[in-house]
């Protein structure tokens, strides 16, 4: 594979055979060295090297279309070759700003979710506690295993600081501290999490703890996780925390700097969050998000095989998404949509204009776009400025993209008595003679 890739490289014809073999050997050495470094580097450096090297390294054969893949709600196998993203995680989901599915794999299959659990932990906390409330760290909380924020027994933090310790370094100790503070007990808080899941319609989601360690009855689906993340990102405080690359907290023993585990932040254009995770059952997971041109996409990756892969897969989903999805303007505010005859007058029309901008998110793999203007055959005076006359509708296939009212561009009052008499005479003459005014171009 390496030899073939190099042989097809533009510089290959200028190389002697001996030089070519030396170059191939050097390439293989660099490839092995970089992959060894990936095991010891921090996650941010890891993803940068991984993504950069993948541009010149051997192509992956694992990113294939699977039977449970879907593009825009249609089985990927029914679409043209090359329309689906090249990804290899076990399950995933890519959603548009309106929540619609752009791509999915095993979208509704319940799976372990690892620390992406903490998205719900943060949501419930934000909706039941004030940011400036103080929380004292208990001994049991400080001993939380696995991922932690190094909270120490006896320290006191605000809810705001604990939320940052929860999301940024993914602290299990912060999760337990918030759970007992808000819910009274861990299980009391878990009940609140499950109640919120039902409220949001997360049919494949159930929580057994606040931190995400593997446990019976603790699972979600890619679709549910995308829905939850979209809901969470509508909270300004959650959005702020999810986008932090690092933060500083102080529980009374001096300031402590915490760094994010999300290597997308600062590396992927427009990255806004959200949360990473790993357990033996869940594999490497991430909910990544990015905003470009006023559109935010959310990419869920569950069951990636490595830390590097979860970042490369989420990056691939986001880049593929922005390649095929974006906001499109179809007509501007006050744009003329036609004219409507005013029935009370002779040959007088009122201008019909768009009330506001007609725009919508468009997924270019969903087919052709159609526009429709609906206006009445006539309107009775008086007509007020801004009076509703009709509707401008844009569809993509069977999907409604946008509807914007069409309104009157001017005010027209009722004709006076003398004018009404004259109009009546002219109309009678026209009926008697069969004369009609010449049509005018719109």
pLDDT tens-digit readout, 298-325: 999 999 999 999 999 999 999 999 999 9
Q: Do 313 and 298 contact (CB within 8 A), yes or no?
A: no
Interior angle at CA 302, CA 296 and CA 304, nearest 5: 115
User: Considering 70, 106, 115, 208, which one is annotated as catalytic?
Assistant: 115
Separation between Cα atoms, residue 262 and residue 47, nearest integer Å: 10
The three-state secondary structure class of 325 is strand
Buried b (16+ CB within 10 A) or exposed e, 322-339: bebbbebebbeeeeebeb
Q: What's domain 69-326's architecture?
A: 3-Layer(aba) Sandwich (3.40)
Range(s) within the chain of domains with CATH label 2.60.410.10 = 332-433
Closest Cα to residue 311, out of 266, 264, 279? 264
Residue 42 has pLDDT above 90, yes or no: no
How far apart (Å, rounded) are the C-alpha atoms in residues 185 and 293?
A: 43
Judge whether 371 and 357 are in contact, CB under 8 Å.
Answer: no
| Secondary structure class of 440 (helix, strand, coil) | coil
Residue 170 a catalytic site member: yes
Q: Which residue has the higher pLDDT, 423 or 341?
A: 341
Given a cut of 80, whether residue 366 has pLDDT beyond it is yes
Sole residue written with tokens 């919508």: 360
Whether the per-residue pLDDT at 80 is higher than 50: the answer is yes
The mean of the pLDDT values for the chain is 87
Entry pTM: 0.81
Q: How many residues does the chain have?
A: 442
Average pLDDT for residues 52-71, to the nearest whole number? Answer: 61
The answer for residues whose C-beta is within 8 angstroms of residue 60's C-beta and 6 or more apart is 54, 86, 88
pLDDT at 356 over 60: yes
Beta strands in 63-118 (DSSP E): 69-71, 74-75, 91-95, 101-105
The whole-number average pLDDT for the span 30-59 is 44
C-alpha dihedral sign at 100, 104, 108, 114:
negative
Identify any residues that bridge with 351 across adjacent strands, giving them in sequence order.
339
Sign of the Cα torsion 409, 410, 414, 419 reads negative
Distance CA 50, CA 316 (A): 12
State the pLDDT confidence band at 4, using cuts at 50, 70 and 90.
very low
CA angle 101, 368, 326 (to 5 degrees): 50
CA atoms lying within 13 Å on the CB side of residue 170: 22
How many CA atoms lie within 13 Å of 283's alpha carbon, on the beta-carbon side?
18
CA angle (214 as vertex; 211, 218 as ends), nearest 5 = 80
pLDDT tens for each residue of 132-146: 999 999 998 887 767
Residue whose C-alpha is closest to residue 55's, from 31, 21, 33 = 31
Token readout for 424 is 């009546």
The residue assigned the tokens 């050495």 is 29
Category of 122 on φ-ψ map: left (φ > 0), alpha (ψ -120 to 50) or beta? alpha
- The DSSP annotation for 255-316 comes to -EEEE-S-TTTTTSTTEEEEEEEEETTTEEEEEEEEEETTEEEEEEEEEESSHHHHHHHHHH
Is the pLDDT score of 11 beyond 60?
no
Supply the pLDDT for residue 62: 45
CATH 3.40.710.10 in the chain: give the residue spans: 69-326
If one counts every other C-beta atom within 10 angstroms of the C-beta of residue 113, the result is: 31
Which residue among the candidates 88, 170, 221, 295 is catalytic per the annotation?
A: 170
What's the pLDDT at 149? 94
Query: What is the 8-class DSSP label of residue 12?
Result: G
Q: Are strands 358-363 and 325-331 parallel, antiparallel or unpaired?
A: antiparallel
pLDDT attached to residue 5 = 29
pLDDT at 189 over 90: yes
Concerning whether 246 is annotated as a catalytic residue, the answer is: no
Q: Which one of the listed residues 88, 118, 260, 289 is annotated catalytic?
A: 118
Pick the CATH number of 332-433 from 1.10.10.10, 2.60.410.10, 3.40.1180.10, 3.40.630.30: 2.60.410.10
Q: Please answer whether residues 268 and 56 qualify as being in contact, where contact means their C-beta atoms are separated by less than 8 angstroms.
A: no
- Catalytic site includes residue 280: no
- Using the 8-state DSSP alphabet, how is residue 14 labeled? G
């Amino acid at each position: 594979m390496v030899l073939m890739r190099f042989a097809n490289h533009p510089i290959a014809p200028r190389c002697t055979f001996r030089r070519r073999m030396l170059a191939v050997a050097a390439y293989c050495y660099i490839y092995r060295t970089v992959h060894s470094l990936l095991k010891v580097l921090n996650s941010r450096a890891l993803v940068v090297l991984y993504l950069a090297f993948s541009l010149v390294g051997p192509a992956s054969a694992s990113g294939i279309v699977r039977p449970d893949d879907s593009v825009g709600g249609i089985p990927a196998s029914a679409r043209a070759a090359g329309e689906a993203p090249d990804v290899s995680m076990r399950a995933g989901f890519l959603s548009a700003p309106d929540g619609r599915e752009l791509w999915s794999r095993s979208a509704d299959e319940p799976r372990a979710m690892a620390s992406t659990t903490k998205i719900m932990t943060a949501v419930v906390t934000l909706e039941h506690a004030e940011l400036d409330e103080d929380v004292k760290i208990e001994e049991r909380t400080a001993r939380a295993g696995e991922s932690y924020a190094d909270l120490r027994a006896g320290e006191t933090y605000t809810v705001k600081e604990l939320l940052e310790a929860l999301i940024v370094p993914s602290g299990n100790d912060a999760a337990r501290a918030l759970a007992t503070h808000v819910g009274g007990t861990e299980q009391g808080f878990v009940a609140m999490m499950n109640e919120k899941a039902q409220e949001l319609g997360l049919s494949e989601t159930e929580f057994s703890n606040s931190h995400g360690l593997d446990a019976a009855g603790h699972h979600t689906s890619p679709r549910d996780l995308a829905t939850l993340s979209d809901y969470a990102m509508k909270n300004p405080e959650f959005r702020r925390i999810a986008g932090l690359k690092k933060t500083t907290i102080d529980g009374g023993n001096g300031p402590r700097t915490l760094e994010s585990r999300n290597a997308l932040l600062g590396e992927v254009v427009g990255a806004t969050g959200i949360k990473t995770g790993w357990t033996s059952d869940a594999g490497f997971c991430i909910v990544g998000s990015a905003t470009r041109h006023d559109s935010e996409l959310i990419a869920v990756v569950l069951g990636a095989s490595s830390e590097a892969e979860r970042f490369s897969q989420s990056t691939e989903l986001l880049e593929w998404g922005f390649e095929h999805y974006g906001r499109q303007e179809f007509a501007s505010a006050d744009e003329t949509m036609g004219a409507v005859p005013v029935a009370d007058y002779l040959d007088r029309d009122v201008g019909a204009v768009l009330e506001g901008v007609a725009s919508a998110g468009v997924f270019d793999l969903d087919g052709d776009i159609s526009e429709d203007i609906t206006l009445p055959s006539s309107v009775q005076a008086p007509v007020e400025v801004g009076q509703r006359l009709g509707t401008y509708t844009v569809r993509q296939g069977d999907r409604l993209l946008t509807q914007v009212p069409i309104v009157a561009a001017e005010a027209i009052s009722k004709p006076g008595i003398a004018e009404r008499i004259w109009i009546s005479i002219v109309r009678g003459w026209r009926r008697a003679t069969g004369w009609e005014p010449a049509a005018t171009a719109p």
